[in-house]
Each structure stands twice: as structure tokens, then as C-alpha cells.
Amino acid sequence: MAKKRDYYEILGISKNATAKEIKTAFRNLAKKYHPDINKSHDAEEKMKEVNEAYEVLSDDNKRRTYDQFGHSGMEGMDQHAGYGGFGSFKDIFSGFDGFNMGDIFGDIFSGGNSGYSSRRSTTPMKGNVKSKVISIDFLESVVGTTLNLTVDQYHNCDLCNGKGYEHEEDIEQCKTCSGLGYQNVTTRTFLGSIRQQKICSTCNGDGVTIKKKCEKCKGSQTTKTTSDIKVGIPAGVENGQELLVAGYGGPGRNGGPSGDLVIIIKVNPHKYYVRQGQNIYLDFPVSIADIIQENNVQVPTPYGIKNIKMKSTYKNDQMLTIKDAGVDLKTEKGNLYITLKLVIPNYNKKELKDVRKVISSKEDTINSDFIKNF
């Protein structure tokens, strides 16, 4: 038989621990190892071990015997049924001053909505946040733009002042919860019966129900209008970035203000430009004739056309930098990097004959040099 662990060690307390410290340690471990919370394979065994240690150390007589003789002193004693399972939990926890079983097990049986003990406050509450995805062009994201949007806007009903009813006689005490705002619910589990308090499903915690709804808002507490607004999109905005527009979200409650609207920016990809951080990249086709003749070529940038002089030394895939033609992030402006893609012009027969004549008079060793060094 495996050697039994020390009870004090199991609860993680010292041998001088007070009764209160023993209870606190047991409560914390019960929350940690209860099988409905902890799904590990050894959780149930650990819980039995914790329960056994508590049964002994919480009883003054058993604790004195254990302190003097250890586990051998416990043999033959009237062992509590709690050693073999969890049936004694309810009795043990009910002895904790000011302790509610829902504190530990509420999340298991009520989806996290335990411990409700009074009417929900009618304090004005701000409305929920709403979101809206807006698509913009790539160039708009670089230089900034202004969006013209039509959005919903909620206002507290001016007839009932955001209450949902016009006169006090238009409401009555909730018949389901008798005006408390909550309902007592008893759940039967292997631990025994657990009694909890939940928000009343009829009055939603208000304690009252409306007999006659406001003629204007029909009990919703708010009225809705549509508004045309302008939203400034800053230069440098990125795909997925969120912008907050205050006051255009969901309706408030109990006279509270409307929530906020979050604009989620979707940047449409550009046909040629690619953005990386504050810099923009462009594959730029250029005629080999412009390279040879060192002509000026027009390069499109987000801020307009830029004239760049070609050089006869430029090679295919060579990268050139146009400073400050990237994304303006206020603190620093990025660059536009263009990668040259050399293209042979579409000459007609006569032009091609002239080109061949010129080229044939010049020695070209590119291929022979490659073969020589291969």
C-alpha cells in the first residue's frame, strides 16, 4: 500500500494553522480539484485526498490524535463518510461563515451567472459598441480621405425620458419574482441540492413589468434616426485598423447614452503597388531604349508623376529609390522603391532592321563570357 501523505502537506498549511486557515485552504483546493472543474484523470483522487485531510484537521479531537500519532492513530476511529466521496461537501461548506455554495459551484451550474442577490440597478447604461466594415482604395489609405456615411443613431425617447413607459401607474410589480429582480433556483447535483439566485427572466432584473408601453418608443426606451456623417480617414491607415466614432453605436438603457461605432478599415489591394510598413514597392517596366539613350521616364507615385532620368548602366531588376514618396506616418515618411523591369520595344520591320544594323556593328560578348566562365 502506498504511503499516505501528510494531511497538512495535502492542504498546504503549517502544523500551527488556525481553523480559519484550514477552511480557507480546503475551499481553495475544492475549487481547484473538483471533477466538474478539473478534467484531469487524477482530479477525483486528489479531491478525495483533500476531503479526507479536511475531515481530520477540522475536527479538534481527530486533529489532536493525528498530531500525536499520525496516520496510525486514525486507524479504527469512526471515519466520516466524506473520505470515500463528496457527499459531505454541502454540510462542510454550509458551516463557512457568510459562504454561499454558488461561490464555488455557480459557474458550473449557471454559466457564470451566480451569486445574484439583489435587484439589478436601474443606473443609466451606455449602449453596446457596433462595428461596420468600410472598404477604401489603396491610394486613399496612403494619402488619407474623408468618408461620407449614413448611419443609425439612437436617442433617449423624449416622451418617456428613456423609461419605456410614460406614467408610474403604467408599471406593476413583476409577478414572477415578486419585485425582487431575481429568482431562487434549486439545482440537484451529486453534491446535493444547490440553491442559487438568478436574474428574473420575466423582468430582466428590474423587479417591475410594463403594463402600458410608451406610445412613442413602444417600450424600447429609445428612438432611431439616420444621420449623414463625415469620418476622416488618416493618411497611413492600415488594413484591419479600427477607428472609433463616438455616439453612433447601440441604444443606451435606462436613459444612458448610445454606444460607439467602430469603423473597421478594409484596404483594397492595388494593381501595382505593394505596401510594407511605411514603404511602397513597384515593379516598373522600362524600355531598353530608354536605358540606352538615358531618357527621362515618368514614374507614378501616390502623390503624382515623378520624372526619373535613366542611366545606361542600369540593369534589369535594379532597384531605385524615390525618397518621401511612401506612406506618411507623421513621425516619418516612407519611400517608394521601384524595381526596373527591362522591356524590348515592339519595333516594326524597318525599325528592327535599323536596330540590327547598329547592333551588328558592336561586339557582344555576353554569351561567350558566360560560357567561358560556366
Candidates 233, 260, 256; CA nearest to 131 is: 260
- Cβ atoms of 325 and 301 closer than 8 Å: yes
DSSP type of residue 250: S
Measured CA distances, 201 to 126, 175, 209, 253, 272 (Å) = 22, 11, 11, 17, 57
> How far apart, in whole angstroms, are the C-alpha atoms of residue 164 and residue 218?
7
Could you list the residues known to form a binding site for Zn(2+), using ranges. 157, 160, 174, 177, 200, 203, 214, 217
Average pLDDT over the chain reads 83
Q: For residue range 206-220, list pLDDT tens digits in order.
A: 888 999 999 999 998
Mean pLDDT calculated for residue range 334-339: 97
Domains of the chain, CATH where assigned: 7-99 (1.10.287.110), 130-267 (2.10.230.10), 274-360 (2.60.260.20)
On whether the CB atoms of residues 196 and 117 are closer than 8 A, the answer is no
Q: What is the pLDDT of residue 72?
A: 67
Q: What is the mean pLDDT of residues 232-249?
A: 92
Residue 164, C-alpha cell as written in the block: 419605456
pLDDT band at 205 (very low <50, low <70, confident <90, very high): confident
Of 190-194, 218-222, 259-263, 355-359, the range with the lowest mean pLDDT is 190-194
| 233 pLDDT tier (thresholds 50, 70, 90) | very high
Q: Where are the beta strands (DSSP E) in 170-221?
A: 171-173, 182-189, 192-199, 208-210
267, 136 contact by CB (below 8 A): yes
Of 154-158, 190-194, 277-281, 325-329, which range is least confident?
190-194
**Rounded to whole angstroms, how far apart are CA atoms 105 and 103?**
6
> Which helix or strand (DSSP H or E) is residue 311 part of?
none
